[in-house]
Amino acid sequence: MRAEIGPHQIYWGRALEKRVTFRGWLLPILLIAPQVIISAVFFFYPAGQAIWQSLFIPDPFGLSSQFVGFGNFEFLLSDKFYRKSFLTTAIFSILVTLCSMIPALFLAVIADRLIKGSGVYRTMLIWPYAVAPAVAGVLWLFMFNTRVGVVSWYLGQLGYDWNHVLNGGEAMGLVVVASAWGRISYNFLFFFAALQSVPRSVIEAAAIDGAHFWRRFFGIVLPLITPTAFFLLVVNVVYAFFETFGVIHTITAGGPQQSTTILVYKVFSDGFVGQDLGSSSAQSVILLVVVGLLTVIQFKYVEKRVHY
């Protein structure tokens, strides 16, 4: 779930108003104050600081800082590692989205065909959703651990020498699977709900006309669940961008040779480990823009959905 980003639930520009309201202005101000104060202190002030700090380079002793304008951004965009991190994030997000949506759709289609028992399977499939990304990371690390991992051992027996500590491609594969695993539950729930809402009469009509299962699926069902699929696509990309930190930190810590350093991980490693505040802040601002773009896409989608 994305509890932090979720503006798609607001029907933009359609805000209704109550006709009947209460009088007074002191009480509502007091009621809204806790949220406004917390947002100001823990949100607006830090966000402002990030933007401000992104324009400076602190001196090595941390005593003063020099104004550099967009210098940090120029440096970042010309930095080989930062550009590589963009590419890594793109590959990672696409793979996580595919690896979580395709199995989920497959399972949902099967579950949808069952009259009895789909509830039991649903209960079982929900489990991984409750497992924190960081814990999922530990579970998958355990299976593929180079010394004790069961899967890596059996791969060894088959003649494949698994080593995600040294091999960047294998490291990427492992963090992708570990990140996608919990999301399968989430996507399954949405796909299953969408499939259940496809009118049976439409499918039966096609069946009477002699369309077999896959024909019915691609011809009728899939177009009808496209809005759900598109919604999940956006949500999963957002998830891969911002909520997979725990997986990467537990399994690879961004390595080997930064091959799994996604943008959010780099903000952390440059800011807290590398203590490069100017660069880390500039990266935060760039991510801010990325979040903004994703939000716009979500809104566009909401509009479409309303007209659908």
Partner 1 sequence: MAQQHGMVEKRGLGIWMTHAFMILGVLVIFFPIWLAFVASTVTQPEIVKPPMPLWPGDQFWENYSRALFSGVNVPVATMLFNSLVMAIGIAVGKIIISLLSAFAIVYFRFPGRQTFFWMIFITLMLPVEVRIVPTFEVVAGFGMLNSYYGLIFPLIASATATFLFRQFFLTIPDELAEAARVDGARPMRFFWDIVVPMSRTNIAALFVILFIYGWNQYLWPLLITTDPEMNTIVMGIKQMFPSGDDVAEWPVIMATSILAMIPPVIVVVSMQKLFVRGLVDSEK
Stretch that binds partner 1, among 56-64, 70-78, 94-102, 145-153 (CB under 8 A): 145-153
In the region spanning residues 244 to 273, those forming contacts with partner 1, defined by CB under 8 A, are: 245-246, 249-250, 264, 267-268, 271-272
CA distances from 243 to 4, 9, 122, 136, 246 (A): 10, 20, 24, 12, 7
In the region spanning residues 104 to 143, those forming contacts with partner 1, defined by CB under 8 A, are: 106-107, 110-111, 113-115, 117, 121-136, 138-140, 142-143
In the region spanning residues 278 to 307, those forming contacts with partner 1, defined by CB under 8 A, are: 280-281, 284, 287-288, 291-292, 295
In the region spanning residues 161 to 190, those forming contacts with partner 1, defined by CB under 8 A, are: 181, 184-186, 189-190
Binding flag, residue 203, partner 1 (CB under 8 A): yes
Q: Write down the least CB distance from residue 31 to partner 1, Å.
A: 4
* Letter string b/e over residues 107-129, b meaning 16 or more CB atoms within 10 A of that residue's CB: bbbebbeeeeebeeebeebeebb
Stretch that binds partner 1, among 58-66, 81-89, 91-99, 241-249 (CB under 8 A): 241-249
Angle between helices 168-196 and 226-242 (to 10 degrees): 150
Nearest to 55 by CA among 275, 278, 266: 278
Q: Write down the least CB distance from residue 94 to partner 1, Å.
A: 20
In the region spanning residues 19 to 38, those forming contacts with partner 1, defined by CB under 8 A, are: 19-22, 24-25, 27-29, 31-32, 34-36, 38
Nearest to 280 by CA among 292, 295, 269, 294: 269
Are 143 and 149 in contact by the 8 Å Cβ rule? The answer is yes
Residue 62 has φ and ψ, to the nearest 5°, of 70, 15
Binding flag, residue 53, partner 1 (CB under 8 A): yes
Q: Write down the least CB distance from residue 184 to partner 1, Å.
A: 6
Tell which one of 90, 94, 98, 207 touches partner 1 (CB under 8 A).
Answer: 207
SS3 letters across 52-93? HHCCEEECCCCCCEEECCCHHHHHHHHCHHHHHHHHHHHHHH
Please identify, using beta-carbon distances, which residue of 36 and 77 lies nearer to partner 1. Answer: 36
Q: Write down the least CB distance from residue 207 to partner 1, Å.
A: 5
Binding flag, residue 239, partner 1 (CB under 8 A): no
Are 100 and 180 in contact by the 8 Å Cβ rule? The answer is yes
Tell which one of 41, 102, 273, 306 touches partner 1 (CB under 8 A).
Answer: 41
Please identify, using beta-carbon distances, which residue of 21 and 78 lies nearer to partner 1. Answer: 21
Tell which one of 70, 81, 154, 160 touches partner 1 (CB under 8 A).
Answer: 154
Q: Identify the H or E element spanning 229.
A: helix 226-242
Are 139 and 157 in contact by the 8 Å Cβ rule? The answer is no
Please identify, using beta-carbon distances, which residue of 68 and 151 lies nearer to partner 1. Answer: 151
**Would you give the DSSP letter of residue 269?**
I
Binding mask of the shown chain, residues 62 to 101, with x at each position contacting partner 1 by CB under 8 A: ----------------------------------------
Nearest to 59 by CA among 270, 276, 271, 269: 276
> Which tokens in the block code for residue 235?
């949500």
Q: Write down the least CB distance from residue 69 to partner 1, Å.
A: 19
Determine the residue type at 129: Y
The two beta strands, 56-58 and 65-67, are antiparallel
Under rule CB under 8 A, how many of the chain's residues touch partner 1?
A: 111
Query: In degrees, to the nearest 5, what angle opens at C-alpha 122 toward C-alphas 228 and 109?
Result: 50
Please identify, using beta-carbon distances, which residue of 19 and 307 lies nearer to partner 1. Answer: 19
